[in-house]
Structure 1
Amino acid sequence: MSALLGLDKVGKTFARGGLFSSRRVEAVKEVSFALRDETPEIFTVIGESGSGKSTLARMILGIHAPSSGSIRLAGQDVATYERRAFMAKVQPIFQNPFEAFNPLKQLDRYLFMTAERFGEATDRKAAEGRADEALKQVGLSLAEIAGRFPHELSGGQLQRVAIARALVARPRLIVADEPVSMVDASLRMSIVNLFGRLRDDLGLSIIYITHDLATAYYISDRLIIMQKGVVVEEGPARAVLSAPSHPYSRQLRDAVLTPDSAGAFRGGYPPKAVPASGAKP
């Protein structure tokens, strides 16, 4: 089976204490995993602040270069991609939707620009069609947001526009870094459910970066748990979170995913079964 994305012993080291300081901090240490091309999935990276999960996301997005190891997209080293070609295949969704958009710029302009740069739209009519299609996939429409500014939408609506903006390019992979942490609690599950529908209906793979074990349990196919830059546990999401073997994983689970909360999620969106590494889909 071919890999959509493959990480092989990826590490990232930062210098600390100034230009001439010899102190170095390993933010990520030898992380390896692969997403299969044939089996779209939601692959979750769980960790507390400082675990290295956001640094890992930025390396996958090509924002940071790994200090060691390699990251390959469709068999090609991410570092060798022309940026526009890479962004046509991989799109980000960031934590705070209010910081993702210029408050003085109309939202539809972002969608049109993405359609023209990464979605191969050749004129405004084609860009409008691509934008409206993407917005409908997240429960909105171009008529609803045309000419509107970010402050005119709620946080949940704005995050949906951010997701639509990513979908305009018709990518193969979305990297979502804490995408529901700034959204009102009552709307978080609607965003998470949306990720499940995008996986199933569009065949999209999603890397979901989060500290929230409850939403990870609810929607993930597979996951890794990171502590201080190291992967301490990995495997099928519900199996890992129901019976974690590493002490840190158990600590996280016991602090967040209580029996009551787990029971509340069992009636929600059913995760699609993803075969273990090496198994046939």
Structure 2
Amino acid sequence: MTTSSSDIVLTNITQIFRGASVRSVGGEFKAVDNVSFTLSADPPGIVSLVGQSGSGKSTIARIILGLQKPTEGSVTYRGKDIYKLSAREYDAYRQEIQPVFQDPYGIFNPFYRVDRVFWTVIKKFKLARNRQQALAKIEESLHAVDLRPEDVLNRYPHQLSGGQRQRVMLARVHLLQPKFIIADEPISMLDAAVRVLFLNILIDFQQKYGMTTLFITHDLSTAYYVGGKILVMSKGEIVERGDIDDVLVHPTHPYTQMLLSSIPIPDPDARWQDKTSLVDIEGAMPIVALPDMEVPR
């Protein structure tokens, strides 16, 4: 597979956590094990990274965002290792690769109005020449995520629903017009109706604005809804990859097959026959008490 300079390329990424907080043999846990893949900006697409909690998905997200330097391997963008960028280059990287996190409640400072999310970005990245132009951009971004400015601006975070708060973060992404979105379990705390709206916005961002999304989830049904490519993770490794239709219709790895068989049939009269558990496939997984890792539940 050929890559362009604007792609994000992960090469042989390994992340090992060590220390007393790691309850495994020798105080060492390999959260990510020799992972390589590419996020392409041209053409833009959606890549779903799927696996159970503790499989290493969020660790990969943090590595791509520059929040967690890998033990081994590299992440390159525009031909440069992101952990060797100059301050100016890293600012440009931050503008072009934007996160959307899981918790719509914890991402806001409760002491400030929601407006601050937008004005901080505009000031940091010099997105407008004056206040009038900045306000027009903010309103345009809110409309892009199906929010009315009068319902959001000048309000505090606690005055908005979880779905509204997540869409505010998507509006912030729209304001920056990045090339990539790293969405780490962004809908797991939203109700079903809002989930569909959120997913439709991600698809819209891809089709209208050319943004590529790494969509991290444990839910195969939502991955199937957004389409595109899929990477299936188990115990820190990518065990299967490809077009989502091909992988879900003809899974080859036992872990992927198990994930598919664990989806209940939407029929109250049909009993769920498959008793296979994640532990049967993966074995007992070590628990790592670190704030930047997913902990199996």
> What residue in structure 1 maps to residue 103 of structure 2?
96
| Superposition deviation, residue 147 in structure 1 | 0.5
Please say if 1:222 is aligned against 2:229: yes
1:244-264: CA deviation from partner (whole Å, max 9, x where unpaired): 11000000011127587xxxx
1:105-135: CA deviation from partner (whole Å, max 9, x where unpaired): 1001111111221353343323222211211
Runs of 4 or more consecutive aligned structure 1 residues displaced over 6 Å after TM superposition: none
Q: Is the 8 A contact 1:13 1:67 kept in 2?
A: yes
| Superposition deviation, residue 80 in structure 1 | 2.4
> What residue in structure 2 maps to residue 27 of structure 1?
31
Amino acid at match of 1:221: G
Q: Is the 8 A contact 1:214 1:257 kept in 2?
A: no
> What residue in structure 2 maps to residue 64 of structure 1?
68
Give aligned-pair identity as a percent: 38
Output the CA distance in 2 between the equivalents of 1:95 and 1:119. Answer: 27
Amino acid at match of 2:243: P
> What residue in structure 2 maps to residue 40 of structure 1?
44
Output the CA distance in 2 between the equivalents of 1:31 and 1:138. Answer: 33
Secondary structure at the aligned position of 2:262 is classed as helix
Output the CA distance in 2 between the equivalents of 1:119 and 1:243. Answer: 48
Between 1:161-170 and 1:208-217, the stretch displaced more is 161-170
Secondary structure at the aligned position of 2:13 is classed as strand
| Superposition deviation, residue 220 in structure 1 | 2.6
Between 1:221-230 and 1:31-40, the stretch displaced more is 31-40
Q: Is the 8 A contact 1:41 1:199 kept in 2?
A: yes
Output the CA distance in 1 between the equivalents of 2:108 and 2:53. Answer: 24
Give me the TM-score of the superposition, normalised by structure 2.
Answer: 0.82
Secondary structure at the aligned position of 1:45 is classed as strand
Q: Is the 8 A contact 1:87 1:118 kept in 2?
A: no
1:188-212: CA deviation from partner (whole Å, max 9, x where unpaired): 1111111111100101000000001
> What residue in structure 2 maps to residue 179 of structure 1?
186
Secondary structure at the aligned position of 2:7 is classed as strand
**RMSD, aligned α-carbons:** 1.9
Secondary structure at the aligned position of 2:186 is classed as coil
Output the CA distance in 2 between the equivalents of 1:135 and 1:119. Answer: 19
> What residue in structure 2 maps to residue 275 of structure 1?
none
CA gap 1:125/1:224 in 2 versus in 1, 3 angstroms: same
> What residue in structure 2 maps to residue 271 of structure 1?
none
Aligned pairs for 1:1-281 within 5 A: 1-2=3-4, 3-17=6-20, 23-81=27-85, 82=87, 83-118=90-125, 120-256=127-263, 258=265
Identify which of structures 1 and 2 has the higher relative contact order when contacts are C-alpha pairs closer than 8 Å and 6+ apart: 2
Amino acid at match of 2:10: L
Q: Is the 8 A contact 1:115 1:130 kept in 2?
A: no
Q: Is the 8 A contact 1:116 1:122 kept in 2?
A: no
Amino acid at match of 2:223: A
Secondary structure at the aligned position of 1:55 is classed as helix
Q: Which residues of structure 1 form unaligned runs of 5+?
A: 261-281
CA gap 1:119/1:165 in 2 versus in 1, 3 angstroms: farther
Output the CA distance in 1 between the equivalents of 2:12 and 2:164. Answer: 38
